[in-house]
Amino acid sequence: MTIYDHIRTNRRRTWLLMFLFVVFVAGVVELIALALGGGYIAGIIALILAGLFVTISYYSASSLVLGISRAKEVKHDENPDLYHIVENLCIGSGLPMPKIYIIEDTAPNAFATGRDPQHATVVVTSGLLQKLDKLELEGVIAHELSHIGNYDVRLMTLVVVLVGLVALLADFMLLFTWFGAGRRPSNRGHGEGMAGAIILVAAVAAAILAPLAAQLIKLAISRSREYLADASAALLTRYPEGLARALEKIAADTEPLEVANKATAHLYIVNPLKGHKSWANNLFSTHPPMEERVRRLRAM
């Protein structure tokens, strides 16, 4: 698979994700509407609103991600060394210069976001700048630029907003259906009550399954692309050892990154949610095992 196939796959998956999101949200809303004895109006309105939301997300998801990560833009003069590293690696990969943002947090980590290389941002924590030397930092930045160059950022950024919202919506629906079940109007026929109960069960099931599905999507999009970005980074810097050392350092750091959450964790170069030994976190893990990534880099 060439890089162009990978880009095509990413484009296709982005469309699929947006489509599924709209269908899913409209479907759940319609299900709830039917359960509560409503018609098709709610579903149609939900369809339109979800479509609008997806369109807006496509253009502004990255600003939202930067906002919730509390990242601040840095200009050339504020950190010329970092700026030059990014600039040089962009020259090496033929990418336009992305914006650079910093998260003030001592936990070392980094991610990239944006919808295409012309509208992309590389984000590093201040801890990363402190704890890595220049060769290691180059490896990390090269990894992030690879995500930008092959359009991983578009898909991964949309996942934050769309999947994060589905999880929220599911939580909300769960509460709502319980609430609705308690206050069901009593002027209904017997059979209708039965159908209502079945629909209600389906709605509850959907609400329970939603976060699980959301997490599984993340799982599906993230693992192999981390290996690919590692490999592209090694090709760009011509020095796999730099990234290998950086990954070890970041993984060995025990400090959690406060601004990261389940919705944004998959963006980061190394899983920012620490204490990842627990069973649940392992199930939802979006990152391949660190030992394997380092081993592959060292084998290059």
Partner 1 sequence: MSVALVIVIAIVALVILIALFVWGLYNSLVRSRIQVRESWSGIDVQLKRRSSLIPNLVETVKGYAAHEREVFENVTKARAALMNAGDAKSAAEANNQLTSALKTLFAVAENYPQLRASENFMQLQKELSDIEAKIAYARQFYNGNVMSYNTKIRVFPNVLLARPLGFAPADFFAATEAERAEVRVSFEKTA
User: Nearest approach, Cβ of 298 to partner 1 (angstroms)?
Assistant: 19
Burial class (CB in 10 A: 0-12, 13-18, 19+), 180: middle
| Closer residue to partner 1 (CB): 77 or 81 | 81
Say whether 274 sits in a helix, a strand or coil: coil
CB 243 within 8 A of CB 233: yes
The angle formed by the CA atoms of residues 248, 68 and 254, to the nearest 5 degrees, is 25
- The residue with tokens 């919506």 is 169
| Token digits of residue 29 | 């809303």
CB of 174 within 8 A of CB of 285? Answer: no
Cα torsion angle, 269, 222, 212, 160, sign: positive
Q: Which residues bind partner 1 (CB under 8 A)?
A: 81, 84, 87-89, 91-94, 133-135, 138, 236, 238
- In the complex, least distance from residue 88 CB atom to partner 1, rounded to whole angstroms: 5
What angle is formed at CA 71 by the lines to CA 222 and CA 253, rounded to 5 degrees?
60
144 is catalytic: yes
CB of 237 to partner 1, least distance (A): 9
Q: Could you count the other beta carbons within 10 Å of the beta carbon of residue 120?
A: 25
- For residues 63 and 93, which CB has a smaller minimum distance to partner 1 in the complex? 93
| Exposure class string for 60-95: b at 16+ Cβ within 10 A, else e | ebbebbbebbebeebeeeebeebbebbeebbeebeb
Which residue among 144, 226, 248, 258 is the active-site one? 144
- Which of 28, 148 has the CB closer to partner 1? 148
Helix count and strand count (H, E) for the chain: 10, 4
CB of 91 to partner 1, least distance (A): 4
Q: How far is the CB of 97 from partner 1 (least distance, A)?
A: 12
Backbone φ/ψ region at 103: left (φ over 0), alpha (ψ -120 to 50), beta: beta
| Residue 186 structure tokens | 């009593």
Nearest residue (CB) to partner 1, 82 versus 161: 82
- Would you call 57 helix, strand, or coil by DSSP? helix
The nearer residue to partner 1, 66 or 95, going by C-beta atoms, is 95
Which C-beta is closer to partner 1: that of 75 or that of 84?
Answer: 84
Distance CA 188, CA 35 (A): 12
Least Å distance between CB 74 and partner 1? 17
Active site residues: 144
